[in-house]
Amino acid sequence: RMTSPATLIVGPSWVGDMVMAQALFILLKKRKPRNAIDVLAPAWSLPIVARMPEIRRGIAADTGHGELGLGKRRRIGYELREEGYEQAIVLPRSLKSALIPWFARIPSRTGFRGESRYGLINDMRPFDRSVLDQTVKRYVALGLEPGEPLPEAPYPALTVDRDRQEAVMRSLGILTERPVIALMPGAEYGPAKCWPLEHFAELAALLVNDGFDVWVLGSDKDAPAGEGIASASDARNLCGRTSLEDVIDLLGYTEQAISNDSGLMHVAAAVGTHVHGIYGSSSPAFTPPLTNERDIHWLDLDCSPCFERTCPLGHQRCLKELSVSRLYTAVNDAHDRLKSD
């Protein structure tokens, strides 16, 4: 049993959400510096958790996305009984996400009202969409006392390992003194969030021609998109060649990142690079990049945000009509300003 007071956070299941959740961890650590914070999260997200100085340790929740996994959750809960947590804060609003803290017999279990979790959650908080109109506000709200007004959410800040960064760049053969622009053409959620690949390729060609190094970052799934951009522009396709940990360090080297509204956009914001966030079916009001170093690119058409995975009208005008020249101008403006700072 642990001697120092400790809190268990049940973390979210998406990269961007895990980054935004750091705002809550920063708030908790500021209020109770001596309290340890552990995060229960999907195994793939633990490299992100490891770059958060507020977190003592990340614990792998080895259940698949959407899987009830009752036996697994019971086993993890029983294992955590010895840890002596005083409180659990459950960020997802699902029933299954509240099971492990209940199995672990953590005395105070905080979460939002949702999915009939009475009993599993014994510190139930009201969920008011009009007040909690951003993902980050929803996370921060669960760290407050009941009825306490919402403070300004602190910005996430992931640690960049400079030694590792250089080693990764060396291993990929991308050591460069030139300013680097990262392109992130993927979005797990679906194609209605994705700026057209030909736009990315055209922009990459312009930037390479101007003397920038352009890296395309993403997962194995994004490798064909990265190859298309690279073959049209002399950009470097790194999709599928890097771990999530590598990407955190590589983004820490870049001057700017151009990204769909995706998890990697939030990683880029949290390592301090200047972010160009591209929004189509989603809204920059709901999930903005949490940094002062940002440009938002959104046409705000009548039909958006629809929050659909694919365009329900079949035309995807919200992204197709977002011009390459607009992004190109914004990148150059930011470059000039960053150079003079």
Backbone angles phi, psi at 330, to 5 degrees: -65, -40
Over 60: is that where the pLDDT of 27 sits?
yes
CA angle 24, 25, 31 (to 5 degrees): 90
Q: What is the pLDDT of residues 175-234, one digit of tens each?
A: 999 999 999 998 777 788 899 999 999 999 999 999 999 999 999 999 999 999 999 999
CA-wise closest residue to 261 among 28, 5, 66, 16: 16
Average pLDDT of the chain to the nearest whole number: 94
Q: What is the pLDDT of residues 42-84, one digit of tens each?
A: 999 999 999 999 999 999 987 666 666 788 899 999 999 999 9
Q: What is the pLDDT of residues 296-306, one digit of tens each?
A: 999 999 999 99
User: Cβ(44)–Cβ(76) under 8 Å?
Assistant: no
Backbone angles phi, psi at 299, to 5 degrees: -85, -15
3 state SS of 37: strand
